[in-house]
Chain A
């Protein structure tokens, strides 16, 4: 648990920097996720969808068949 304190603190510090100094994508979306704002949720969901789409595309490029996104 103590080991997780460092990444948690780093994440909090990172977000504090974004809040103080202005934000950029995709850090802005992740930092604002806790507000529950619909626009933020849509952006984060789309971002995740884009990341998953890249995984599928990468596997197809490599010649491997697309794997289910949620195996099991």
Chain B
């Protein structure tokens, strides 16, 4: 599924599944489904929080593996970039999500639904920055979707 495609039906269905997942984790485990925070927690020394974090990531990887097998188009990258950009992007995402204490799932999905002002500021910031970055990148080198 190219992220730049306009597919409102699939987007709504995917959003509903993500919302259901976030609700399941909040109601069943009492935890927020912020993917970057869950992963970052696994990088720290093991605590009583480690098992559920590992189980959540395992569930994601398992579904990703099954999804890639059943529906390869769902995980095909639509962005052709030199590998150095993957590294730079990964570093920025990793550092930035820790700096902002969350990512699109923690702030955008869970934080906004809990009416968190901090999540609203974070979401507006990364959406605006992302749009500006994509626009500037297009102007400079013809890159971008």
With known contacts A20-B1, A35-B64, A55-B98, A11–B13 Cβ distance under 8 A: no
Query: Number of A residues whose C-beta is below 8 Å from B?
Result: 52
**Contact A13-B99, Cβ < 8 Å, known A32-B75, A51-B94:** no
In this complex, the interface size class of chain B, counting residues with CB under 8 Å from chain A, is 35 or more
CB atoms of B3 and A34 under 8 A apart: no
What is the minimal beta-carbon distance from B29 to any residue of chain A, in angstroms? 5
Give A21 to B118 CA distance when docked, in angstroms: 26
Q: Give the docked Cα–Cα distance between A58 and B104 (Å).
A: 22
For residue A39, which residue of chain B has the nearest CB? Answer: B86
Query: Which 9 pairs from chain A and chain B are nearest by CB?
Result: A21-B14, A50-B94, A46-B90, A11-B59, A17-B17, A34-B65, A17-B18, A15-B63, A13-B21
- Further contacts, 8 of them, CB under 8 A, given A46-B88, A47-B93: A14-B35, A15-B60, A17-B14, A19-B1, A20-B13, A21-B18, A43-B86, A47-B90
